[in-house]
Structures are given as C-alpha cells and as structure tokens.
Amino acid sequence: MTFSLLCPIIAHFLVLLVNAQSPKRIPFLPLAVKTPYLNTWLHNSDFAPDDDRAQFFTDDRKLGWTGFIRVDDQNFQWIGTPYKSNKTLTSGLTLTPTKTIFRFEAGPIQFNVTFFTPIEPSDYALQSVPFSYLYIDGFSVGDSLSHTVQVYSDISAEWVSRDDNAVVEWDTVETDSAVYHHATRREKNVMQDDNNFSDDSVVYYVTLKRSGSTWRTGSTAVCRSKFIENGTLDNNRDTDFRPVNSRGWPGFAHATDLGTISSISQPDPVVWAVGLVRSPLLRYTGPARDQVGFYASKFQTDESMIMSFIEGFDGALNRSMAFDNTIASPAGTVSSEYADILSIVTRQLFASLDITVSKPQAGNIDPSEVRIFMRDMGDSLRTNPVDVLYGAYPAFLFFNPTILRDLLKPLLEQQRDSQYPSPDLGNTYPMIGGNSSDDHTIAIENTGSMLIMIYAHALKSGDGSLISAYYSTIQRWADHLASTAFNFSADTITTDGTSGSKSTNLALKTIWGIYSAAKIGQAAGSSNSTYLDLATTLLENWTQSALTDSHIKLNFNESDSWGVIYNLFPDFLFNAKMITNEILTRQANFYSGQSGLQPALGFQSAQANIIFPHWNLLAAATIPDNLTHIRDQLIGSIHERAFDGTQEFSLPMRYDVASGNAAAGGSASAIFGAAYGLLARDIQNVKITLDVSLPPSSRGSKNIGPIVGGVVGGIFGAGLVAFSFFLWYRRRRLVLREKAFAANHNLKPHPFVPATGNAQVASRPGVYPGKAKGSIAADGRLALPPTTRLLRYQLLSAKQREALGYRFDNMGPGGSTTSDQTNASDGSDVGTDAIRAEVALLRRELEYVRHMADFPPELAVQHNLVLNGSGRKLIHAPISLESVKSVLETATGSGIWVEAVAQLLPDTAELVGIDITSNLFPPTPPSNVKFLQRSVLDLPKDWTNKFDLVHQRLLLVGLRKEEWLTAFKEILRVLKPGGWFQLYEIDDWEECGPVQNKLRDLVTLLIESRGGHGIWPCGAAQWQKDVEDAGFQNVQVSWHGWPTGSSAGEEGALGKWNFLGFMRGCKAPILKAGGLGIVNSEEEFDELLVEVEKELDTRQGTRMRCVMMCGQKPV
C-alpha cells in the first residue's frame, strides 16, 4: 500500500472501529433507506438484530425480514423474530454513510451481513432507483476443518400494506440470470399516504442465479421450515392470494447453498436486492402532471431497472467505497465523532427525496424536466419544507449543488408572482398542490432562507439558471425583505417555533438574504449597489445592538438572552468575511461556557433544556479555526446523544437535555444535512453564468430607494435613525472611493491565490463538488487549496502545457515546435497537421482534467505537492517519450500518476497500475490504462522484460527494510533491457522545530518497530545501495521537496495540511504501539498536533525533503 494512502485509509477505518468498539450503541440502525417509502430501520439491541424485526422509520410498523445461516446442518438466525433456530452472536457493528455491517458468529463460522444502500449524487438515474442491497460475505473459519454452509432470506407481504387485512397478490419471475419475487395489494390506494406508509407500491425481492440457489413463495412459516429442515427450497409458487396476516403471513424467500467453506476457500458474496416501486410517484399541480421516477428516463421497464441494479452490484460497491471515503476522509480530520455523525445521517438525507420527471402524455420522457421533491420525514407530510431545506442545503452543496437547484425549482415555479415565499408546497404528500395558507408570520424567515439558498446554489455551481428564470420573483422577495428588515411585526415567528419580532438570529438571516439578493443582482449585470450597501449598513447596526461583552444576544431588547446563532453560517459559506473574528470568537467562547453547564448546548435561554441537534451541528461550522476544541465540544455532545442506546431514535429533531427523550421529530429527517456545514464551507466559489441576458429593466429594483429610507428605524428606535443613515452614507462614500481607486490602478493578484475558474460548465445531473472542475494557476501549476475540495479547471496555455510536460517532440527546423511552424506557414499542410495535433492535445488535457477530478482530494493535493516540488515533471528518468510503449506504476493507490502519464503517451501505449488493495482504483480509467491487485514483492512471471518505465513513490512504511531489495529486484526483472525505474520517497524533514522533532522521532520509532531501521530518516543512501545491489546501473539521485508551513504561503499551507493529515493517519498505529515512549494517550497526541501546527505556522524554512532516484536495467 502506498504511503500516500495511509492517511485516508487509516482515518477511514478509525471511523469504523469507533463504531464497532464503542461501549455505547446507536439505538436505531438504517437497513434499506433509499426513498420516503423504502425506509427500513432496526432497533439496535446490544448490537444484535437477531431477536428483533425490521421496521418502518416511524417505529409503528413492523416489516417481515428474516435471515438464517445453516452450518453443518445447524441453523442460526441473524435477523427477524426468532424461529426454530439458534441465535448468532454479534461480534461487531460497522457503520458507514452507505452501509450497516454486522459481524456474526454461527458456530465455527464468522461472516458479515451488510445492508447497503447506494448513494449516487452525481447520477440521477441511479440515485432514483428505489432499491437497496443486502449481502453476505467475509466468511472465516475458526478451526482447520471444512464446513457446509447455506444461507436464507425472506421478506413478507407487510412491506406493501399497512392494513394487514388487505389482500395481496404476488408472482415470481425467472430471467436468464436472476430470480425476483414481486407483490402488491389487490386494491391500491393510489397516491394516498396511509399514516406515513405507501399502499400503492410493488415490493421486489431479487437475487442472481448461481449454483445452489433456490426460492419459494407462500407462508413464511413453511418457507422457513423447509430451509431449516433441508438447507434448500423447492422453487414452488403459492398462488393462493390472501390477506397480509392470513395463513402463515405470505412471504417471498431465497436460499443459496454455498457448499463447503474452509480457511482457504471464500465464496462469492450472496447478494439480494429489495425494492419498493411506485408509479406514478406523486401528482404535482404546478404543470398538472403525474411525476415518475427519474430512472424511467433510462429504463423502459421495471425489469430492465431491476436487472441493471442486481447485475451492477460490483460497480455500485466500488463506487460506494469511493463515496464513503469522500466523506470519511475530510470528516476524520475534524474528529472521529464527526465522521460517526455523518455516517448516521447521510442515508436519511437522500432517502427524503423523490427525484422525478414529468410523465408524458405520449412519447418519450424528457429528462430535462427534472424536479426533486422532499418529504418532511419524521414530522409531517409537507413537501419541500423551506426550513428543512435550509438545514439540509449544506449537504447538497457538498455532494451536488444541482440537487439543491432541482429542489428549489418547484418552490419557485409555484410562486412566481408571490410577494414572499410559502413555507412549503403543501401538507398532502404525495399529492402536491401548493400552500395557500396565511403564512405572513414566518414570511421573513422563509424569504431569507430562499434567497440564501438560491445564491448559494449559483455561487457553488456557477449555474445561474434559477436566477435567469426567476429574477423578477427574486427581486420581489428581496424588496419584501428589505422593507421589513429589523422592523418585524409583533406576530413574527421563526420556523423553530419561537418569537421572531426581536430576534437577532432572524435579523442576521435577513441581512444574508439581502446580501444574497445583492450578489444575485451583480451576477445578472446590475451596477446598482443599494442592496449591498443596505446589507452592510444593517450588519453594522446589528453589531452595535446585538452584542454584549460576552456574547450575541438572542433578543435585541434582552441583554441576558442567548441562543444558538446558526445564521452566522452564510458568512463562512459565502466567504463574505463580514462578521469579525472577534465576534465569532466571543460567541464560540460563550458556547463553550454554556455547554459546560449541562451535557449539551441548549437552543436558547428560554429553552435551555431543549436541544436542536441539527442547529448545534451547523453552529459548529461557525467556530473559528483556532478554537477547534469548542467545535469538537459541540459535535461531541450531539455524538453522545446519537450513541445513547437507551433512546428510541438516534437523532430526533429536538430532545430534552436531561432525559435525552425526543421532544419533536422521531427519525429520518433531512434537516441533519446541517451536519455537513463544516465540509460545505470549504467548497470553492465559482463565477456565476446566466443562461440568458436579462433585460435592462430587470437589473435593479424600482422600489429599493424608498425601501432603504424606511428600514433604518424599526426596533432600534428613533435615536438610531440618524446614526444608521450616517453609517450607510459613510459606507456609500467608501465604496465609491474604492471603485474609483480600482478603476485607476492595475491591481494584480497574489501569485498563488487559487483560481476560481472562468471556464463555465452548466450545472446538470452528474456534477457534484467531489468532481468539480478546477483551474491551472497563472504560473502553470495545478491550483488546489488546503481543503478537501477540488477547483475548476481551465484549458492550459502553450507555456503552461510545456511546464507540465505536455509538449511536441517532433521539433521543426531550427528547433521550433510544430505550432511555431503553423504561425509561419499560413494554410500549409504543416499548419493543418499542427492544428490537428493541438486539438488532439486539448482533448488529452480535458481527459486528464476529467480523471483528476475523480481522485480523493487529499491525494490530488499530495500529487500537486510532489509535482510542484519536482519541477512539475511526471517523468524524471532520462528516457524519450517516443520510446515508451509500456509503463508500470507499483503502489499506484488511486492511479493519479499513471493516468496523468497516459495523457503524455499515444493511445497505443499500455499502462498498468498495481496495488495490494483496489479500494481507490478509479472506476472508469482510460482505455489504455488498467489496474490490478498485485504486490510489488511478487510481480507476475509473464511480465519479465515487459515495461519501458516503472515508477514508484511514497511507499515508505509499506515495506520492511529487508523487502526493499526484493522489490527492486522484481522491478528490475519486469523492465525491458535498457528500461528505467524511478523512485520518489520522503527522505527527511528539514529545519524542524522542537515540536516537529518529537513527531519525527515518533515516525522513526514507528518505522523501526515495523523492521524498517535505517530506512527513515535519511534513507536515500540505503535505497541507493539496494537499487545498485539489485542490479541497476547509471543510478542518478536528485533532491526535491515542498514547504510545510503557512509562512510559505499557499503552497506551505498545502504542505502543512498534507503533513498533519499524514500524522493523524499515524495516530492509531502509534497508540497501538503504546505511544513509543513519547505520548501516553490520545489526548497527548492530539495536543502534540496542535502544537506542531502552531510551530509550522511561525517557523521559517520547514520543508519536506524528498529524493528522486532513477536507475537503468543493463542492456
């Protein structure tokens, strides 16, 4: 495994082990949680599902789901109501964002049962498929014997009807490769919600055919008894259709005989898929038309969707590993508790959505007619509730801003002419008719929320389509907000159910709403700065009136009032920097003091005993970076409640701090997308592109002039009117002065400020921040921030391409390149060829950009550091690119190097990347690149004399000292005579301070504890000796590296971020080794990292020193 992978992989498994080893337990576990009606959970009884039944998310509807394993004719049950079997012993529980994984023991056999719900935010067709997987794998044997094993699973008709007296019909279909059962009510209540349950659905239970697979339908008791007695079923259809609760409860079963398992044999996973299909999904009266699942735009029939899903298990599993790591890796750098919380809430976030397209009257479905509807899970039948969306929107920005766009679209099209937005689309899901109630009392909150979300979507995606389509509506709402700013009526309330008439938190949302409208206007081409000036003035007034010496008041007129001021978050999200660090620090310290008085921070002074966990998690994203202990305090208190096994649900929307009992909202709410605030605030801003030019008349509000004059009074009283006007006038003069200065000066940016990207890509299904486009900085380097996000890419100039190694080797006369000849030869054949070559090169660059966006962010950052530290060269061996026909990268990790090199070589070149794990292999590599799970210590025999170039970097602790020579000999063997090997490794840290020296000693001791004495630090001499002893000649050594510390600018900040990530990855093995005589506890290790970060930020000249070693195989 490569050294570069240690940090993300170790951090990822730390997250999992915390769940498995915690003395506490998650009270409510997600099983199949994909849609509002496929929402199946399990109460966690001491980590064991073997004595409990799966149930619907509301806890009042049990669902029949049973599983057995038969070992040497002894039956064990691992889920469901006990039935004539022994119980399995549950030895572990792992939770990731997409999976709930149990480790069971059944006699001498151990095995995994995984409930896996794919999350595909970049692919609407896949995300909308209403299916989830259950699979069994990971068998191990506790003795040296062989054992016969069979497995079984069934579901009951309870999945399709809340009324147990309703008659159900079913059938079984066998295709060439699969068997699936399906069942539905005989009389359906179409598009009627029956106490949170759907009665118009078809349930499917699917498995692939394989040797030893059998099935049966009918009485669940008969199905289970047949398996218990025989280890198999009889492929029999029961056609006696009957009520759900009649004659043994109709069920639908699958069984698989795995044959004999031993310590040296491992069967393929047994995979089942459960789905709940409804068509139409809902009726929407915007354009009055039924809506169907977006998957219908890709699959013509349910069967084609089912077959694609069950046959696509391997691909879905691989994508889920990358998806889980996209969350676990950055979350783990915050804390293991934070990563745990994200693992709990992510499935329920996406399961609240129905991604739909309009059902056509005739012809094909138009996938551009996409709308997404969110059900208010766990609380009501409201559709697209603005307050829940406001909690969830940080997560959608993180995964795919287009999801947020398509959630906002129905709200906008239903209210195109409204003075202010409604709180939702009605309370009758799945019949969506809009909201006509009198909602003026919460209009301020909803207006601010909508404007903030509209702007946030555009800012993080670059997509201005909502602004283009609804600009006049946005203006109208902004005018309403401005006219009432800080002059709220006495009956104003917040969506949290509290009075809003004097609320500083609501006033802050008002400011951000007006600010968002100002920025939207700028994006639309407006030069009118009135909204922005107003927002600035209001914020200055707010600062004067909302603060005490210790904190932000909750109510302007009550100095002792306090609350969770979560509306500070847009300042971080927009990177507006309008709230001073002093205010943020003051509030953070106050949170810390209040949290210390009880187990968690109460919502407000009038409700100090009630916790709104989602807002506490969003507030954690407003804590300054130098106060991470306070951030972790807020997160830790919510984590404590989430793992309180005495409770019914993990995270209700409100709970009592003393008892932990839920006060509102049971489970499954999307509002917990607020937990993603910490990750969302690092998403880069993008230049907004509007779909069409707006007419001049729509670029500024005609009403805003009178409005501004009326808003500076309000709750501040007459004494502040003159002062407010003075502040606004002063601000206006400053703005004009700044504009005049900018117009007369050539303002140059900092040489390494990360670019925001000018090349715009329309937002669409299939784009999310983990695959965001990026940019090349002006100096030719890939510009990546010290965060977990990737930037947008621009096309490279000729100079930038040359700096990166993208150049033509067919030089013309006098050393000029082909492009030079093009300029000198108008219309010549040479010029035409050069243009074709240039076009081909641009295509290669775009392909490179596409693949770069697929890599885990920390690996892309590290790749950039290595490139920057080694002259932006991918190939250092003295070898002509024209002679390179085959390339091998050992310890390839994510394949980021080998895929980059592929862009330099012809399509006919063969490139191979190997690693001992396939976890990070890219899912769709270029056609001439393949990835294999192999060890550098034992390369295939038929590779002898195969490769022109072999590359290896950052393996370091992946090999023991004695294994390096073996590896080099294997690499020599597979090289062609005259071929080259290049090795890039970390040799030492330079100019270390005393704290960093402590960490240096820790890493040295860790490597030595693994048998690596003499390898690090200063291992270059040993590596050179081993390379030469292996038989290489013409060995060349050069030194490279990168700075590690903010004093070195952006690149130093990147280096520091990478270094600290590596050290966090080393924490687990260091602590497992007893601290190696330097640290005695996790707390001491964490304190050491805090100290070294301070040292890195203040100490000059600290660098990571690396060695590049090239050697040639004798001819």
- 1027-1048 pLDDT, tens digit per residue, is 999 999 999 988 888 888 877 7
CB 654: neighbour CB atoms within 10 A? 19
Beta carbons of 986 and 1105 less than 8 angstroms apart:
yes
Residue 394 CA from chain centroid, whole number: 11
d(CA 808, CA 815): 11
pLDDT at residue 55, rounded to an integer: 66
Does residue 278 fall inside a structural domain? yes
Any domain includes 655: no
State residue 438's pLDDT score. 74
Task: Encode burial over 721-745: b for 16+ CB neighbours within 10 A, e otherwise.
Answer: eeebeebbeebeeeeeeeeeeeeee
Q: What is the pLDDT of residue 5?
A: 32
Nearest Cα neighbor of 818 from 830, 806, 829, 828 is 830
Q: Quick one: pLDDT at residue 778?
A: 31
**Mean pLDDT value across residues 497-504:** 92
Mean pLDDT computed over every residue of the chain: 81
pLDDT at 53: 60
Q: What is the pLDDT of residues 593-637, one digit of tens each?
A: 987 778 888 889 988 889 999 999 999 999 999 999 999 999 999
Backbone angles phi, psi at 1095, to 5 degrees: -65, -40
Locate 1088 and state its tokens: 């050491």
> What mean pLDDT comes out for the span 32-57?
73
Task: Give me the pLDDT at residue 1098, please.
Answer: 83
Distance CA 12, CA 1065 (A): 9
Give the CATH number of the domain where residue 265 resides.
Answer: 2.70.98
Is residue 285 predicted with pLDDT exceeding 70? Answer: yes
Residue with tokens 């920097």: 577
Instruction: Please tell me which residue, 730 or 1087, carries the higher pLDDT value.
Output: 1087
Binning pLDDT at 50, 70 and 90, where does residue 994 land?
confident
* Least-confidence region, from 264-273, 434-443, 663-672: 663-672
Q: Count other C-beta atoms under 10 Å from residue 182's C-beta.
A: 21
Task: With cut-offs at 50, 70 and 90, classify the pLDDT of residue 45.
Answer: low
- For the cut 90, the answer to whether the pLDDT of residue 916 exceeds it is no
Angstrom distances, CA of residue 1085 to CA of 307, 922, 1053, 1082: 50, 34, 21, 5
Among the candidates 322, 340, 368, a domain finishes at 322
Reported as a pLDDT band with limits 50, 70 and 90, residue 225 is: very high
What pLDDT sits at residue 1055? 81
CATH number reported for the structural domain that contains residue 992 in this entry: 3.40.50.150
Q: What is the pLDDT of residue 212?
A: 96
Give the span between the Cα atoms of 277 and 306, in whole angstroms.
10
Choose the weakest-confidence range: 122-131, 639-648, 759-768.
Answer: 759-768
Domain that holds residue 15: 3-322
User: Is residue 517 predicted with pLDDT exceeding 50?
Assistant: yes
Q: Which of the listed residues 284, 303, 322 is the one where a domain comes to its end?
A: 322
Return the amino acid letter for 79. Answer: I
The more confidently predicted of residues 193 and 865 is: 193
Structure pTM? 0.66
Residue 449 has pLDDT above 60, yes or no: yes
pLDDT exceeds cutoff 90 at 454: yes
Q: What is the pLDDT of residues 250-260, one digit of tens each?
A: 999 999 999 99
Better pLDDT: 134 or 362: 134
Task: Judge if the upstream peptide bond of residue 280 is cis by omega within 30 degrees of 0.
Answer: yes
110-139: average pLDDT: 97
pLDDT at position 456 = 98
Q: CA-CA distance, 618 to 863, in Å (whole number)?
A: 32
pLDDT score recorded for residue 1016: 58
Structure tokens, 317: 């599993």
What angle do helix axes 857-869 and 1049-1072 make, rounded to 10 degrees?
Answer: 120
The pLDDT of residue 441 is: 92
On the question of pLDDT at 247 being above 70, the answer is yes
458-482 per-position pLDDT tens digit: 999 999 999 999 999 999 999 999 9
pLDDT digits (tens, 9 = 90+) for 317-359: 999 999 999 999 999 999 999 999 999 999 999 999 999 999 8
The answer on pLDDT for 560 being more than 70 is yes
- Look at residue 367 and tell me if it is in a domain: no
Please indicate, yes or no, if residue 178 is contained in any of the structural domains.
Answer: yes
pLDDT of residue 575: 96
Summarised one tens digit per residue, pLDDT across range 784-838 is 333 322 222 233 333 333 333 333 333 333 333 333 333 333 444 444 454 444 4
Lowest mean pLDDT of 43-52, 91-100, 325-334, 1084-1093, name the range.
43-52
pLDDT digits 0-9 by tens, 713-767 = 443 443 343 344 444 444 444 444 444 433 433 333 222 222 233 322 233 233 2
Reduced to 3 states (helix: H, G, I; strand: E, B; else coil), residue 403 is: helix
The total number of structural domains in the chain stands at: 2
| Assigned domain for 1076 exists | yes
Give 55 or 615, the one with higher predicted confidence: 615
- Quick check: 527 pLDDT over 90? no
Q: What is the pLDDT of residues 926-940, one digit of tens each?
A: 889 999 989 999 999
- In this predicted structure, what is the pLDDT of residue 321? 94
In a domain, 769, yes or no: no
Which DSSP symbol is given to 748? P
Q: Is residue 485 part of a domain?
A: no
Look at residue 722 and tell me if it is in a domain: no
pLDDT of residue 267: 94
What's the rounded mean pLDDT across residues 546-572? 96
CA distances to 194, 430, 433, 1031 from 200, rounded to whole Å, are 10, 11, 20, 72
- From 274, 300, 322, the end of a domain falls on 322
Q: How do residues 386-409 score in pLDDT, each as one tens digit?
A: 999 999 999 999 999 999 999 999
Share of the chain above pLDDT 90, in %: 52
Short-list 453, 475, 587, CA closest to 526? 475
Could you tell me the CA-to-CA distances from 498 to 492, 609, 672, 824, 979 in Å, in that order? Answer: 9, 15, 20, 74, 73
